[in-house]
Amino acid sequence: MKTTIFTTPIFSPLLRLASNSIMRLSGWKVDGALPDLSKYVIIGAPHTSNWDFILFLGIIFRLKINVSYMGKMELFRSPIGWFFYYCGGVPVDRSKSTGLVEQTVEACQKAGRFILVIAPEGTRHGVKEWKRGFYHIAKGAGIPIVLAKVDGRHKTVHVGEVFHPTEDVEADMKAIQDSFKGLIGIRPPKKYIPLEE
């Protein structure tokens, strides 16, 4: 397992202390706990702001876990691209279909511990339907999906609800997306657009 910002000796505990202090001072809190499982996919939504990445770091430090996440390729090509790698990032070229789901499933099956964080909307702008990559990764690897719900109104991120994919992808996707209805993220103008009734 590669060293990340969450596992660096001495440095990580200091960052965790600073992160927890910043979260507390800014009024954000984490409600709930993650399941005692070695492998799962965490989906976090609504994704409405670039500040979501900072919130993501705060949540992970608070929960004391080591995770990976997918980010657009452009982030990793920037002058601070190394930082996104160090934070557990995996670059994704969204303009190509490169068998990413299959590669991720294989990586999960080979790993002793695998926790992947994904923003299912795939964009900071409101969408009616989420991208399904997270679902196919979980289904293909035979692992559950853990929900992380960003409640911007109360500055709370609710974590811990576990969803096990079934054989009905359409029903599953609707059930998962519906469970986030009514929530707004950090920036309400880019809020999540729920499915049509």
pLDDT (tens digit, 9 = 90+) per residue, 8-67? 999 999 999 999 999 999 999 999 999 999 999 999 988 777 788 888 889 999 999 999
Q: What pTM value is reported for the model?
A: 0.81
Cis upstream peptide for 9 (omega within 30°): no
Q: Under CATH, what is the fold of the domain 11-190?
A: Rossmann fold (3.40.50)
Residue 165 clears pLDDT 60, i.e. is over it: yes
Cα(66)–Cα(113) distance, rounded to whole angstroms? 9
Helix/strand/coil for 89: strand
Residue 157 clears pLDDT 90, i.e. is over it: yes
pLDDT, tens only, 102-131? 888 888 888 888 999 988 876 555 556 788
pLDDT of residue 138: 96
DSSP lists the bridge partners of residue 114 as 39
pLDDT of residue 196: 45
